[in-house]
């Protein structure tokens, strides 16, 4: 018996005698694995591309059971016979070639005299779950680490870091783990804390200095070091890792890369395949960020303590006189040095502390500072409490700061008693000054003038740590040799300008003792004698390598940004509020079939319909300085081409008054996605027509049966010779009415099966209800389903596609019909009904489809609109109907929802009333 005979047998409700035919060979599917089983679960055939990767079984006289192909832990999932597996989702692991495992998921269904097991590869799904689980664990551990480091005491900080390193190492089985911080003073890297497993060899120790090899790594992403395929440029780094596998994760802040999380003897690809780059960066950040914050906070606190201690030890402090009044404010340390109880006193009280021999000079200098702004520089003695005691000397300096409205006199008093009274301490002070110069980030130098040339005579001690050079390495000829070849003319021009103008500022590159070039900012001044002849030049070198390289990187970044905009696959443009383009990149020009130079001045709305243009302009009017961004999908009709859809994002640019002056936009071609959505909707529509085949056949058979009976009666009258005109006219009118009825059904099927319009139209949703009933009403009633249709005659307009709304209603009614008929098969006394009614308010119209089928399992309500989700038996339904229906209503700006009522399911289609209505 053919498939057509079986189908018509079911339509005519006749029983068909099915003959047992020989089993046909499986057709090889395009995806997955299909296994044909007998009733005992033995494998008869295999088909599909995945069968080639399975482990080959030795030939046997009898088919092997399915469990022989599976790994041991999967055998529990297939206990029993295939009939026991029907309706269950099976997760099976197959042994593959090369000791690999194939993770498959599928189901079993009846196939001829046996069973068909259809399986799909779910390895990607399992990997995603593993990655999500490890990502969540990584976030939890990172949060705990940050909290521990932020809440612990300063003395416990190193111990807490060691504990957290142990947590990370034990969680991801890292033999050796260390945190390396940048030592800015030593200009290298140092192990802050490390952890090693009890069975791992010693690789690092706390406080170990690593030098600068880590600087050769790329600081923007984790770096993997392979011991078997070592990189030449990372050879020094591999020595740090013991020439074994390693993994280094950077942490950067506004200063650049300031920390590395080092994993030794660790192959990250095998040990932690599910951790992503973001997870590793997150772990490094959670450890390094709070630690560096705490360390910098401690450093700042120590510096503040040093400053306070320095002021106390030197007997110095600041003083300040506001612009109005004669009050003097003293620093607490200065008040203590002056043995004063208060830090605020009058100028006269302050002058009283000065020795009478210096008081009037102090008063005169202070008056000159107040009246004429002349800087105050004076050495004075304090009034001694005991005349036999050695005088206490202070250096007083002051200047005017602020503008005319907020004018202040500020300065300091420095105890210089030792300098004045003890020559030996003067030498010590001179040594401290030399040390201060040596520790300065700049190099101070002196060049003597001799016979028209400048010869190096002195360099501060900071020359050694900066360039690794000594004075004898910096003769005039040696400096010329160390200059970068491209900068030698700059240096010669610097010398000529210094001798000619007396001061100079230049920038050039100088090679250090290691062969690396440094950018130096050279500022020098020429000193002359009383006759105006040059004596020597005093200047300083400031290392500006980082700043210069940063400026170069910014310049390169700007160039990359320009290239990115020009060569980006996205369409980038700027236009005025009237849609006139002012700039467009090459992808936009190529899409519009012109050159980038032709884009300025073109009206972007030229390719839009009037309705699309009005909606586009209306959307721009909603942009404000507080909400400057808007995203929408727009439709364009390009000359000689089909409709195109763009996903378009706008960002408004506003003037100081908040007026929109320009729009910056980025677009992406969404045409293929939109066409795929249309094809999916059309496929769902045709699937709906297929499911309606039985009902439509009834709709057409009814008028055909009436016409056949009318013709039989007329022929019988004609054979008896009894022909009456009125009788023939009545029968012919009846036949004509039935022909029109059948034609109406066929015409509506043709209209319903067409593709939807390109743009949404205004329509009354009541017309969609009428079209749905014209296709389904008779078939529903013929199956004993009572249709309860409320009055839907009110006039309202919505925007969208009437055929797609009709498709949604058909899906809802067909689903309700299937549920009702299934329930009636179990309970013959059940009286099924479906109710359709509508209501409206000022903003929305709601269409309700309700039945008395008992409702939907509450556990399934949240998944009812997911793609491919269905509660129907395998092979019945695609699981796309409600998902596509939800997308159709969402595309029309509405909402499709469901809840259970007292007697059954209740679906609601909520659509916004069109603004034009």
Mean pLDDT of the chain: 79
Q: What's the pLDDT band for 231 if we cut at 50, 70, 90?
A: very low
| DSSP secondary structure code for residue 70 in this structure | B
CA gap 790, 91 in Å, rounded: 48
Contact in structure between 319 and 328 (CB atoms under 8 Å): yes
Q: What's the pLDDT band for 11 if we cut at 50, 70, 90?
A: very low
Q: What's the pLDDT tens digit per position in 392-402?
A: 888 888 888 87
Contact in structure between 516 and 466 (CB atoms under 8 Å): no
Do residues 664 and 750 both lie within one domain?
no
* CATH label of the domain that carries residue 241: 3.30.450.40
Number of structural domains in the chain: 6
Vertex 299: Cα angle to 297 and 304 (nearest 5): 95
Strand (E) positions, 265-365?
317-322, 327-330, 344-346
User: 637, 669, 701 — which closes off a domain?
Assistant: 669
Q: What's the pLDDT band for 177 if we cut at 50, 70, 90?
A: very high
Contact in structure between 351 and 383 (CB atoms under 8 Å): no
Query: What percentage of the chain exceeds 90 in pLDDT?
Result: 10
In a domain, 11, yes or no: no
In a domain, 17, yes or no: no
For residue 873, the SS3 value is coil
| DSSP secondary structure code for residue 119 in this structure | E
Q: Is the model more confident about 89 or about 125? A: 89
* CATH label of the domain that carries residue 75: 3.30.450.20
Check pLDDT > 90 for residue 184: no
Q: What's the pLDDT band for 703 if we cut at 50, 70, 90?
A: low
In a domain, 126, yes or no: no
Contact in structure between 597 and 585 (CB atoms under 8 Å): no
User: 515, 550, 585 — which closes off a domain?
Assistant: 550
Do residues 762 and 885 both lie within one domain?
yes
In a domain, 529, yes or no: yes
Check pLDDT > 50 for residue 388: yes
In a domain, 462, yes or no: yes
Which structural domain range is residue 607 located in?
A: 568-669
* Chain-centroid distance, C-alpha 92: 35
Out of 16-20, 605-609, 638-642, 677-681, least confident range: 16-20
CA gap 291, 151 in Å, rounded: 11
Q: Which long-range contacts (CB under 8 A, 24 or more apart) does 619-628 make?
A: 619/650, 620/577, 620/650, 620/652, 620/660, 620/663, 623/650, 623/652, 623/660, 623/663, 624/652, 624/654, 624/658, 625/652, 625/654, 625/658, 628/652, 628/653, 628/654
Number of Cβ within a 10 Å radius of residue 698? 16
Do residues 112 and 258 both lie within one domain?
no
pLDDT at 699: 59
pLDDT at 857: 82
CA gap 339, 329 in Å, rounded: 15
pLDDT at 179: 92
Residue 254 backbone dihedrals phi, psi, to 5 degrees: -65, -10
**Averaged pLDDT for residues 606-610:** 81
Out of 260-269, 478-487, 875-884, least confident range: 875-884
**Averaged pLDDT for residues 158-174:** 88
pLDDT at 815: 85
Do residues 95 and 183 both lie within one domain?
no
Do residues 519 and 440 both lie within one domain?
yes
Do residues 136 and 236 both lie within one domain?
yes
HEC secondary structure over 15-59: CCCCCCCCCCCCCCCCCCEEEEECCCCEEEEEECHHHHHECCCCC
In a domain, 308, yes or no: no
How many CA atoms does the CB half-sphere of 336 hold within 13 Å? 12
**Averaged pLDDT for residues 609-637:** 84
Do residues 433 and 415 both lie within one domain?
no
Do residues 448 and 500 both lie within one domain?
yes
In a domain, 312, yes or no: no
pLDDT at 12: 34
User: 421, 456, 473 — which closes off a domain?
Assistant: 421
Do residues 275 and 220 both lie within one domain?
yes
Do residues 869 and 895 both lie within one domain?
yes
Burial of 667 (0-12, 13-18, 19+ CB in 10 A): buried
pLDDT at 441: 67
**Averaged pLDDT for residues 108-125:** 84
In a domain, 343, yes or no: yes
Do residues 440 and 544 both lie within one domain?
yes
* CATH label of the domain that carries residue 720: 3.30.565.10
Do residues 493 and 509 both lie within one domain?
yes
């Amino acid at each position: 018996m053919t498939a057509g005979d079986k189908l018509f047998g079911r339509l005519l409700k006749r029983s068909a005698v099915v003959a047992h035919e020989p089993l046909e060979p499986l057709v090889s599917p395009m995806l997955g694995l299909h296994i044909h089983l007998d009733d005992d679960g033995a494998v008869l055939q295999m088909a599909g591309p995945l069968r080639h990767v399975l482990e080959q079984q030795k030939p046997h006289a009898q088919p092997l059971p399915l469990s022989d192909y599976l790994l041991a832990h999967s055998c529990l999932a297939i206990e029993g016979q295939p009939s026991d597996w029907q309706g269950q989702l099976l997760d099976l692991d197959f042994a593959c070639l090369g000791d690999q495992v194939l993770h498959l998921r599928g189901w079993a269904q009846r196939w001829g005299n046996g069973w068909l097991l259809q399986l799909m590869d779910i390895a990607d799904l399992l990997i995603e779950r593993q990655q999500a689980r490890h990502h969540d664990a990584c976030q939890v551990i990172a949060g705990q680490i940050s909290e521990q480091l932020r809440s612990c005491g300063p003395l416990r900080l190193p111990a807490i870091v060691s504990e957290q390193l142990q947590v990370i190492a034990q969680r991801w089985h890292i033999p050796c783990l260390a945190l390396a911080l940048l030592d800015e003073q030593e200009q290298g890297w140092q192990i802050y804390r490390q952890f090693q497993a009890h069975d791992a060899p010693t690789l690092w120790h706390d406080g170990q200095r690593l030098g600068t090899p880590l600087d050769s790594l790329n600081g923007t992403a984790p770096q993997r070091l392979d011991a078997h395929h070592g990189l030449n440029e990372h050879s020094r780094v591999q020595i740090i890792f013991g020439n074994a596998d390693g993994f280094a994760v950077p942490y950067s802040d506004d200063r650049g890369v300031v920390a590395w999380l080092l994993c030794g003897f660790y192959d990250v690809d095998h040990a932690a395949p599910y951790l992503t780059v973001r997870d590793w960066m997150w772990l490094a950040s959670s450890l390094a960020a709070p630690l560096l914050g705490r360390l910098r906070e401690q450093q700042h606190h120590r510096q503040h303590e040093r400053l306070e201690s320095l002021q106390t030890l030197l007997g110095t402090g600041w003083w300040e006189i506001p612009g109005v009044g004669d009050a003097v404010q003293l620093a607490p340390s200065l008040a203590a040095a002056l043995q004063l109880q208060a830090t605020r006193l009058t100028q006269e009280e302050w002058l009283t502390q000065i020795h009478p021999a210096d008081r009037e000079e102090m008063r005169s200098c202070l008056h000159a500072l107040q009246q004429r702004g002349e800087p105050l520089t004076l050495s004075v003695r304090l009034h001694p409490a005991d005349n036999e005691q050695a005088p206490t000397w202070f250096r007083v300096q002051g200047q005017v700061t602020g503008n005319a409205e907020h004018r202040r006199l500020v300065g300091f008093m420095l105890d210089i008693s030792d300098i004045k009274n003890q020559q030996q301490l003067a030498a010590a002070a001179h040594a401290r000054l030399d040390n201060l110069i040596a520790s300065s980030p700049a190099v101070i130098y002196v060049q003597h003038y001799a016979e028209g040339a400048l010869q190096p005579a002195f360099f501060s001690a900071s020359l050694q740590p900066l360039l690794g050079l000594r004075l004898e390495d910096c003769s005039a000829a040696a400096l010329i040799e160390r200059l970068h070849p491209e900068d030698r003319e700059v240096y010669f021009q610097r010398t000529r300008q210094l001798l000619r103008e007396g001061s100079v500022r230049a920038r050039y590159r100088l090679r250090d003792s290691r062969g690396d070039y440094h950018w130096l900012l050279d500022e020098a001044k020429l000193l002359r004698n009383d006759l105006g002849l040059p004596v020597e030049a005093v200047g300083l070198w400031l290392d500006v390598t980082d700043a210069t390289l940063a400026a170069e990187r910014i310049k390169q970044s700007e160039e990359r940004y320009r290239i990115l905009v020009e060569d980006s696959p996205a369409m980038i443009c700027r236009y005025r509020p009237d849609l006139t383009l002012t700039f467009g990149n090459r992808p936009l020009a190529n899409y519009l079939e012109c050159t980038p130079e032709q884009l300025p001045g073109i009206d972007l709305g030229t390719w839009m319909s009037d309705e699309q243009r009005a909606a586009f302009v209306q959307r721009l009017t909603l942009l404000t300085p507080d909400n400057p961004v808007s995203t929408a999908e727009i439709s364009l009709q390009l000359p000689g081409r089909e409709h195109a859809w763009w996903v378009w994002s706008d960002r408004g640019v506003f003037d100081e008054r908040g007026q929109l002056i320009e729009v910056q936009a980025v677009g992406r071609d969404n045409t293929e996605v939109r066409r795929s959505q249309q094809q999916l909707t059309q496929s769902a529509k045709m699937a709906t027509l297929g499911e309606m085949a039985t009902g439509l056949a009834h709709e057409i058979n009814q008028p055909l049966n009436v016409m056949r009976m009318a013709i039989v009666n007329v022929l019988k009258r004609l054979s008896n010779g009894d022909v009456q005109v009125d009788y023939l006219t009545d029968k012919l009118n009846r036949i004509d009415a039935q022909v029109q009825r059948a034609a109406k059904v066929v015409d509506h099927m043709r209209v319903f099966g067409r593709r939807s319009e390109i743009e949404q139209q205004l329509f009354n949703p009541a017309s969609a209800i009428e079209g749905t009933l014209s296709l389904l009403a008779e078939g529903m009633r013929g199956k004993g389903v009572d249709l309860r249709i409320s009055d839907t005659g009110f006039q309202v307009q919505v925007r969208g596609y009437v055929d797609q709304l009709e498709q949604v209603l058909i899906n809802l009614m067909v689903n309700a019909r299937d549920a009702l008929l299934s329930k009636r098969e179990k309970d013959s006394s059940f009286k099924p009904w479906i109710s359709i009614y509508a209501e409206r308010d000022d903003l929305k119209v709601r269409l309700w489809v309700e039945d008395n089928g008992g409702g939907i399992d509450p556990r399934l309500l949240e998944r009812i609109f997911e793609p491919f989700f269905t509660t129907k038996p395998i092979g019945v339904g695609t699981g796309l109907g409600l998902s596509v229906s939800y997308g159709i209503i969402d595309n029309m700006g509405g909402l499709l929802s469901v809840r259970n009522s007292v007697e059954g399911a209740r679906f609601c289609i909520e659509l916004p009333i069109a603004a034009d209505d």
